[in-house]
């Protein structure tokens, strides 16, 4: 297996951190006095996906890099309902994530091929 590119590690840790921070932040929004709130459960699930994707990207799982790209694409979609600046920031971040996770060195890492 090839050595993990440092940029892949940075992206992975960024998603893990975003997932953990979001999970902690949104977990405080649950109210046990009202019926089960599926919207909050969905938000927590999406944050958990960021953590899972980040961990498995560190481990070299090819499906995990696709999960992280889908995760940020979902956020680009969500930001379309907010300010234009949010769409631009999320789209730029998606471009960086796609570049880092799908460039040749990263692809070799995810395939487990030794690069020269």
Length of the chain: 116
Measured between alpha carbons, how far is residue 110 from residues 13, 17, 72, 78, 106 in Å?
16, 21, 19, 28, 6
Which tokens hold the place of 95? 């471009």
* Contact residues for 63 (Cβ-Cβ < 8 A; gap 6+): 56
pLDDT band at 34 (very low <50, low <70, confident <90, very high): low
Task: State pLDDT tens for residues 93-111.
Answer: 999 999 999 999 999 999 9
Task: State pLDDT tens for residues 47-104.
Answer: 999 999 999 999 999 999 999 999 999 999 999 999 999 999 999 999 999 999 999 9
pLDDT band at 32 (very low <50, low <70, confident <90, very high): low
CA-to-CA distance for 29 and 86, rounded, in angstroms? 23
CA-to-CA distance for 44 and 36, rounded, in angstroms? 13
* Residues 44 and 20 sit within 8 Å (Cβ to Cβ): no
HSE at residue 93, side-chain half, CA atoms within 13 A, is 20
Per the model's pLDDT, the better-predicted residue between 29 and 10 turns out to be 10
């Amino acid at each position: 297996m090839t050595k993990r590119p440092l940029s892949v590690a940075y992206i992975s840790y960024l998603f893990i951190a975003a997932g953990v921070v979001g999970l902690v932040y949104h977990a405080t929004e649950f109210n046990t006095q009202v019926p089960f709130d599926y919207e909050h459960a969905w938000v927590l699930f999406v944050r958990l996906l960021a953590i899972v994707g980040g961990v498995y990207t560190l481990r070299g799982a090819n499906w995990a890099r696709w999960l992280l790209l889908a995760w940020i694409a979902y956020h680009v979609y969500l930001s379309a309902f907010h300010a234009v600046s949010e769409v631009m920031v999320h789209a730029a971040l998606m471009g960086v994530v796609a570049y880092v996770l799908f460039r040749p060195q990263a692809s070799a890492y995810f395939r487990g091929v030794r690069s020269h």
